Structure 1
Amino acid sequence: MITFKRADHFHVCVPPERLEEAKAFYTKVLGLELIDRLDHLFSSAGYWLNIGDLQLHIGVEPALPRSIRHTAMEVADVDAARKHLEDNNVEIVEEPVIPGRRRFAFIDPFGNRMELLQLI
């Protein structure tokens, strides 16, 4: 058996030629804090950012078809988060209703799907 303590980070990929655009989206639109990445340890480019009590790692790979794979993050105010994303022309995806949760997903400009939810 494995005893898990917490999630540490999740990783999304963007096409190599759009890495700087991804940095701008995640720092300026989503408001995440860029943190030091030990670039000398990795053979490919990328960025690390703080997101709540875990990290988002952005890496590069050729563009892939859209998938239902996603990460879900709890937010304090799902309505405010949705409005902020809509105000920034970010694609919103409706999610099926799950009792006890208000939620939706968004697609970042690079095809990564992310769910935001608020427990009710």
Structure 2
Amino acid sequence: MTADFSFEQVDHVQLAIPAGGEVACRVFWGGLLGLAEVPKPPVLAPRGGCWFDGPGFQVHLGVEAGFRPARKAHPGFRIRGIRALADRLASAGYPVTWSDEVPGQDRFHTADPFGNRLEFLAPH
């Protein structure tokens, strides 16, 4: 089968947050992880949440009624300086759980302020 399309890259990932979670998002994604907040389009801004810009991707945090954290589903971020990031997260009180289940990678999982699972990885 010949494809008449091709994937280029992941544009963004969306994670759910509870109502009122924007301040915690700004502290975690902006302050701790160093991503730049970008304004949401005006038509979407009244819904709450916030967006952050990374190198070649965005993270969208959207308010979800009846919020429950994603404890299995997760985005995976390839990181340079993974041990420094793990130390920064641990020092800020976030859990860092290392895993050697995937050969050739240093990787760990943590959770955002609301319990959403996040994975960070680096080839070794």
* TM more than 0.5: yes
Question: For the residues of structure 2 that align with 1:39 and 1:92, how far apart are their CA atoms?
Answer: 36
Query: What SS class does the counterpart of residue 116 from structure 1 fall into?
Result: strand
Question: For the residues of structure 1 that align with 2:108 and 2:69, how far apart are their CA atoms?
Answer: 21
Query: What SS class does the counterpart of residue 83 from structure 1 fall into?
Result: helix
Query: What SS class does the counterpart of residue 47 from structure 2 fall into?
Result: coil
Native 8 Å contact 2:69 2:116 kept in 1: no
Counterpart of 1:75 (choices 79, 88, 98) is 79
Please report how far the alpha carbon of residue 17 of structure 1 lies from its aligned counterpart in structure 2 after TM superposition: 2.3
Please report how far the alpha carbon of residue 43 of structure 1 lies from its aligned counterpart in structure 2 after TM superposition: 5.4
Identity %: 27
In structure 2, the CA distance between the partners of 1:73 and 1:66, relative to structure 1 (3 Å rule), is: closer
Query: Is residue 2:121 matched to residue 1:117?
Result: yes
Question: For the residues of structure 1 that align with 2:107 and 2:33, how far apart are their CA atoms?
Answer: 17
Question: For the residues of structure 1 that align with 2:6 and 2:69, how far apart are their CA atoms?
Answer: 34
User: Could you tell me which residue of structure 2 aligns to residue 36 of structure 1?
Assistant: 39
User: Would you say how many aligned residue pairs link Structure 1 and Structure 2?
Assistant: 120
Query: What SS class does the counterpart of residue 105 from structure 1 fall into?
Result: strand
Question: For the residues of structure 2 that align with 1:5 and 1:66, how far apart are their CA atoms?
Answer: 26
Query: What SS class does the counterpart of residue 28 from structure 2 fall into?
Result: helix
Question: For the residues of structure 2 that align with 1:45 and 1:82, how far apart are their CA atoms?
Answer: 29
Query: Is residue 2:27 matched to residue 1:24?
Result: yes
User: Could you tell me which residue of structure 2 aligns to residue 45 of structure 1?
Assistant: 48
Amino acid at match of 2:21: R
Please report how far the alpha carbon of residue 36 of structure 1 lies from its aligned counterpart in structure 2 after TM superposition: 2.0
> Tell me, which stretches of 5 or more residues in structure 2 are unaligned?
none
TM-score by length of 1: 0.89
**Which is higher, the Rg of structure 1 or of structure 2?**
2
TM-score by length of 2: 0.86
Question: For the residues of structure 1 that align with 2:86 and 2:76, how far apart are their CA atoms?
Answer: 14
Native 8 Å contact 1:9 1:57 kept in 2: yes
Question: For the residues of structure 2 that align with 1:107 and 1:58, how far apart are their CA atoms?
Answer: 14
Q: CA RMSD in A?
A: 1.7
Query: What SS class does the counterpart of residue 23 from structure 1 fall into?
Result: helix
Amino acid at match of 1:52: P
Bigger strand fraction: 1
Native 8 Å contact 1:91 1:108 kept in 2: no
> Tell me, which stretches of 5 or more residues in structure 1 are unaligned?
none
